[in-house]
Amino acid sequence: MRLPPVPWSEVERRARTVPGGPVARVGGTDDLTVRGLVTDSRLVVPGALFACVRGATSDGHRHASAAAAAGAAGLLVDRPVASTLPQLQVPSVRAQLGPLGALLAGDPAAALRLAGITGSNGKTTTSALLRGVLDAGGDCTGVVGTLGAEVGGRSRTTALTTPEAPELHQLLRWMLDAGARRAVVEASSIALDMGRMDGLRFEVSVFTGFEEDHLDHHGTLEQYWASKARLFEAGRTGAAVVVVDEPWGRRLADQAQVPVTRVGSGADADVRVLGWRTGSSGTELLIGDDTGGHRVRSPLVGRVHVGNLAAAWATGRVLGVPPDRIAAGLAAVAPPRGRNTVLGGSGRPRVVVDYAHTPRALAAAIATAQDLSGPGGRVHLVLGARGRRDRYKRQGLGEAARAADGVWLTNEGSHGEDPAAIRAELRVGLLGSAAGVRTVPDRRAAITAAVRAAGPADVVLVVGRGHETRLLDTTDPRDAVHLDDAEVAAEALDEAHPQPGDRLRERAS
């Protein structure tokens, strides 16, 4: 994708629209043009504008010379640097990334109808469901989130749930060029806090729920809440869809300064879940709204998806999609990778691979596993915790794990932290539990052992990594190794619990 050239004078003009203080241009004639905004000097291409972002561990100003050597046409700085390149000096480089990223991508968001989705859990699934609804409604829709970016039959990988603003606007440009009329964007709290969503205006924003998470970044629960709530400011979105089955959702619905559609099981909900059931074949809901009652079927497995399905239904209605098209869209969406992915069954143990990485999400995943188990079946939980992230919630994960019948404590990627110390903190939450607890540090071995120990009526629940395929135990990303939980589980099932047809083939050979 080749971005259009933008005159230096236009870059300066857009920069001056960002509040915060004076903007000074140093060098660069009005006929100078730049193509694209880049925050990593290693990714600079000739003609790019290099943004010298100050980070937690690095300062982009120190890499200005590398950017110049790679062919950058200009620099975006918040202090002068020794360089022959034209510079635009601003009070905060980060505050400019959204507005300038939009400009240098050709302002694609202005031509797209956008929906944003945030919440501690359920963002990825709800984004996939909403995309399915909008596609069924006749609008080609792109999605950006934890699993990457997709539009039509094309996909791109992304390093973050919500990419840095320049990359995000470039992805929207890519979607627009591919024929998209709408886009669904997952909005993480960190992205909202750091301004990655700046420069975007949403037609509707969706809130799936809230619990303690990411306090290693936000510091306090209220700061985390405030970051989420930014998606629902009047200047950022035109409407809100809020799941109100817990206090944080009700608080948001009460405080939002835009029209709110409440979603839940209570009598005060605008879109109400009147009943539901879930099993290995999927989930069925009865939903009531101002047009009456509607039966919704989905291949997604687990009670955790009831709220996600209802939120996607409500958002489709807000966006004007007819009920029959919403139902068709929801029925057509396959489970996203690593979100209650179910393997096995048919006389073999079932294995559920899920991203559950917070205490409430883990509790819901265990409840789903219990729903899927047969008479007298047990739930075997493979549990770890990510190193150097949200250490405070490890005891809560251990407490939620008490509901399982057996727990296999293992590694989830220590990122340089002591793996034994991580497991010890999980074990604190398990104190007093009736569940049998085993420690198997090697994750592949832990998954394999849990599957081998499971009987035909049992369920093995593997949580924490979901769709992720690279496991890292050091601080150097180059040391990451391939490990896909679903792949390991499938191999273990085939080895320990072969299908009857497999045994016949073995005898024949």
How long a stretch of residues is the chain?
Answer: 509
Residue with token string 């081998």: 452
pTM of structure: 0.88
Q: How far apart are CA 197 and CA 144, in angstroms?
A: 12
**CATH assignment of 341-496, among 3.90.190.20, 2.40.30.10, 3.60.21.10, 1.20.120.790:** 3.90.190.20
Q: What are the sequence ranges of the domains in the chain?
A: 6-94, 108-332, 341-496
* pLDDT number for residue 212: 59
Burial of 476 (0-12, 13-18, 19+ CB in 10 A): exposed
> CB 267: neighbour CB atoms within 10 A?
6
> CB 277: neighbour CB atoms within 10 A?
12
* pLDDT number for residue 501: 56
Q: What is the pLDDT of residues 313-367, one digit of tens each?
A: 999 999 999 999 999 999 999 988 888 899 999 899 999 999 888 898 899 999 9
* pLDDT number for residue 217: 58
* pLDDT number for residue 507: 39
Overall average pLDDT of the 48-66 stretch: 91
Indicate the class that CATH gives domain 108-332: alpha beta
Q: Would you say the CATH fold of 341-496 matches that of 108-332?
A: no
Give the torsion sign (CA, 210, 216, 220, 223).
negative
Residue 6 clears pLDDT 80, i.e. is over it: yes
Structure tokens at 391: 């250490």
* pLDDT number for residue 213: 60
Q: Known binding site: residues? A: 41, 161-162, 188, 196
Q: What is the pLDDT of residues 86-131, one digit of tens each?
A: 999 999 999 999 999 999 999 999 999 999 999 878 889 999 999 9
Q: How far apart are CA 367 and CA 404, in angstroms?
A: 9
Helix or strand holding residue 350 (H, E):
strand 350-354
Q: Name the CATH architecture for the domain at 6-94.
A: 3-Layer(aba) Sandwich (3.40)
Which range (60-64, 237-241, 316-320, 335-339) has the least confidence?
A: 335-339
pLDDT band at residue 64, thresholds of 50, 70 and 90?
A: very high
Residue 143 sits at φ, ψ, to 5 deg, of -140, 140
Are residues 151 and 141 in contact, defined by beta-carbon separation less than 8 angstroms?
yes
* pLDDT number for residue 93: 95
Q: How far apart are CA 129 and CA 117, in angstroms?
A: 11
Q: Residue type at 186?
A: E
The residues, ordered by sequence, that sit 6+ positions from 291 with a Cβ below 8 Å of its Cβ are: 317, 323
Residue spans of alpha helices (H) in 26-164: 64-69, 93-104, 123-136
pLDDT band at residue 508, thresholds of 50, 70 and 90?
A: very low
Residue 504 clears pLDDT 90, i.e. is over it: no
Q: How far apart are CA 463 and CA 352, in angstroms?
A: 8
